[in-house]
């Protein structure tokens, strides 16, 4: 692509262009952070309002039944199941990724072995597993990136949160079976971006974020996938009443719900859950193979233009998720200056500028213009201004 006109031609032919209208995006902003916090769909905003105003205000507690609140964790789970190649009853929406990792790894520890995670894995995955090891006495191993685990429970992101490297799920599962390793996949940066096929790959356990490509909103609950037969065998450590077979029997003994539903724990956050549930409807008509191809082309265009600015992505050619990182020693300030120019990405310490290329709401022209603004920020060196060098709590 050599000009804005070239990429505008791509936009005119883009079969996914129609999805943009489903989002409520601020005018003048080019949002390259949908991989971190997806933007709201109009349907989700309307659903939150309807839930707060009608179902909560007027329906009050009756809405657990009348508005189907109690069914939402399973209903939203079934919608996510389609996106990751699972059966509808194998996915439940609950809690955060951190808590779900604790529950799932805790449930799997019964079979023995160490808890392993790569040393460059997303920090919460490492912290939770190490905490679980302290609690249970199970050995904890921090592996070198790419090192194969030799048994035990292993947590692995399908798409790496910094590099966007995509793991080979099929090959890793085949190796894991030979070594008796149980892999918990963290699908946070994959679900909703490209078709995941847990069943096809033989993956039995996964967790993933609701607020990234699934656009569920800030702090949206996450999801747990457990393959059907495995779920029946497992007992999870936060045996809360919402994961019990009949919570409203109020009996003393805990009997887990059938299948993955036992991975629920406490009362679900309904206002968040309705937003996620509504946002998920967007994927009904979305072909995620097309989304994957578009994300790739969007990011390739940006990488080409960044190369002209002396920036190289941290990941070489090969499979890549939906985001791209560039190392820059002033990356934080450059990103702040870029945000001030209406292009929103984020920064990952120590020096990475991260840009996400969500295919359902971005146009090729957006990406072209974002690269123009990045060029301006670097050329003018406006990132040197003090206001762009003050770190916020969230980067
Ligand atoms: C790969 C990965 N796992 C887990 C999380 C955090 O999940 P949660 O905040 O739901 O615990 C993130 C957040 O960005 C992430 O990127």
pLDDT in tens, 209-264: 999 999 999 999 999 999 999 999 999 999 999 999 999 999 999 999 999 999 99
The CB of 188 under 6 Å from ligand 1? The reply is: yes
Query: Of the listed 19, 23, 122, 205, which one is catalytic?
Result: 122
pLDDT at 191 over 80: yes
Is 211 marked active-site?
yes
The mean per-residue pLDDT over the stretch 53-60 comes to 97
Antiparallel, parallel or unpaired: β 205-208 and 30-31: unpaired
**Res 168 pLDDT > 90:** yes
For residue 1, pLDDT over 80 is answered with no
State if residue 97 touches ligand 1 by the CB under 6 angstroms criterion.
yes
Tell me if residue 354 is catalytic.
yes
Ligand 1: centre distance to CA 384 (Å): 31
Summarised one tens digit per residue, pLDDT across range 137-156 is 999 999 999 999 999 999 99
Options 161, 211, 225, 355, the catalytic residue: 211
Q: Whose CA is nearest to atom 7 of ligand 1?
A: 97
CB of 96 shorter than 6 A to ligand 1: yes
Could you tell me the pLDDT band of residue 383, with boundaries at 50, 70 and 90?
A: very high
Query: What percent of the chain is modeled with pLDDT above 90?
Result: 97
For the segment 317-332, the average pLDDT, to the nearest whole number, is 95
Question: How far from chain centre, in Å, is Cα 3?
Answer: 32
Q: Which two tokens stand for residue 131?
A: 């905490």
Q: Does the annotation count 127 as an active-site position?
A: no
Q: What is the DSSP string of 307-364?
A: HTTT--BSS-SS-B-SEEEEE-TTHHHHHHHHHHTTEE-EEETTTEEEEE--TTT--H
Query: Does the C-beta of 100 come closer than 6 Å to ligand 1?
Result: no
What pLDDT, in 10s, does the model give residues 348-361?
999 999 999 999 99
CB 236 near ligand 1, within 6 Å: no
pLDDT-above-70 percentage for the chain: 100
- C-alpha span between 276 and 72 (Å, rounded): 10
Atom of ligand 1 nearest to the CA of 210: 10
Report the separation in Å between the CA atom of 267 and the middle of ligand 1, taken as the mean of its atom positions: 21
Nearest CA to ligand 1 atom 8: 97
Mean confidence (pLDDT) of the chain: 97
pLDDT greater than 80 at residue 35: yes
What pLDDT score does 110 carry?
A: 81
pLDDT score, position 361? 98
Q: What is the mean pLDDT of residues 185-195?
A: 98
Q: Compute CA distances 108 → 10, 85, 122, 226, 379, whole Å.
A: 47, 22, 20, 11, 53
At 210 the three-state DSSP class reads: coil
* Whether the CB of 222 sits within 6 Å of ligand 1: yes
161 lines ligand 1 (CB under 6 A): yes
Whether the model pTM is above 0.95: yes
Chain-centroid distance, C-alpha 33? 12
Is residue 212 among the annotated active site residues? yes
CA of 124 to the centre of ligand 1 (A): 7
Count of helices and strands (H, E) across the chain: 13, 12
Place 161 in a pLDDT band, splitting at 50, 70 and 90.
very high
The two beta strands, 205-208 and 343-344, are unpaired
């Amino acid at each position: 692509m050599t000009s804005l006109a070239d990429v505008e031609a791509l936009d005119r032919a883009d079969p996914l262009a129609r999805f943009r209208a489903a989002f409520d995006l601020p005018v003048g902003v080019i949002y390259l952070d949908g991989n971190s916090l997806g933007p709201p769909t109009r349907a989700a905003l309307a659903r939150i309002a309807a839930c707060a105003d009608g179902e909560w205000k007027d329906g009050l507690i009756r809405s657990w039944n009348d508005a189907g609140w109690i069914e939402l964790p399973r209903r939203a789970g079934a919608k996510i199941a389609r996106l990751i190649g699972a059966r509808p009853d194998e996915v439940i929406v609950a809690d955060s990724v951190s808590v779900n990792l604790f529950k799932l790894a805790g449930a799997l520890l019964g079979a023995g072995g160490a808890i392993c995670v790569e040393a460059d894995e997303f920090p919460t995955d490492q912290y939770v597993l190490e905490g679980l090891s302290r609690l249970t006495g199970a050995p904890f191993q921090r592996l070198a990136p790419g090192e194969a685990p030799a048994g035990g429970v292993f947590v692995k992101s399908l798409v790496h949160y910094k590099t966007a490297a995509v793991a080979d799920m099929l090959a890793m599962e085949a190796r894991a079976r030979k070594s008796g390793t149980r892999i918990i996949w963290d699908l946070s940066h994959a679900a909703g971006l490209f078709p995941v096929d847990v069943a096809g790959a033989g993956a039995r356990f996964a967790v993933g974020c609701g607020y990234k490509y699934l656009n569920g909103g800030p702090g949206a609950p996450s999801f747990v996938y457990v393959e059907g037969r495995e779920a029946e065998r497992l007992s999870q450590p936060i045996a809360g009443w919402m994961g019990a077979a009949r919570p409203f029997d109020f009996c003393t003994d805990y009997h887990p719900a059938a299948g993955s539903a036992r991975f629920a724990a406490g009362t679900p956050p309904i206002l968040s859950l309705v937003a996620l549930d509504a946002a998920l409807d967007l994927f009904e008509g979305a072909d995620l193979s097309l989304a994957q191809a578009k994300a790739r082309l969007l990011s390739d265009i940006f990488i080409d233009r960044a190369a002209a600015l002396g920036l190289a992505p941290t990941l070489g050619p090969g499979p890549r998720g939906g985001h791209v990182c560039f190392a820059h020693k002033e990356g934080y300030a450059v990103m702040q200056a870029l945000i001030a120019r209406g292009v929103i990405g984020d920064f990952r310490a120590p020096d990475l500028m991260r840009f996400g290329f969500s295919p359902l709401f971005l146009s090729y022209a957006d990406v072209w213009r974002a690269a123009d603004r990045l060029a301006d920020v670097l050329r003018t060196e406006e990132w040197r201004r003090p206001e762009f060098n003050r770190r916020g709590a969230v980067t």
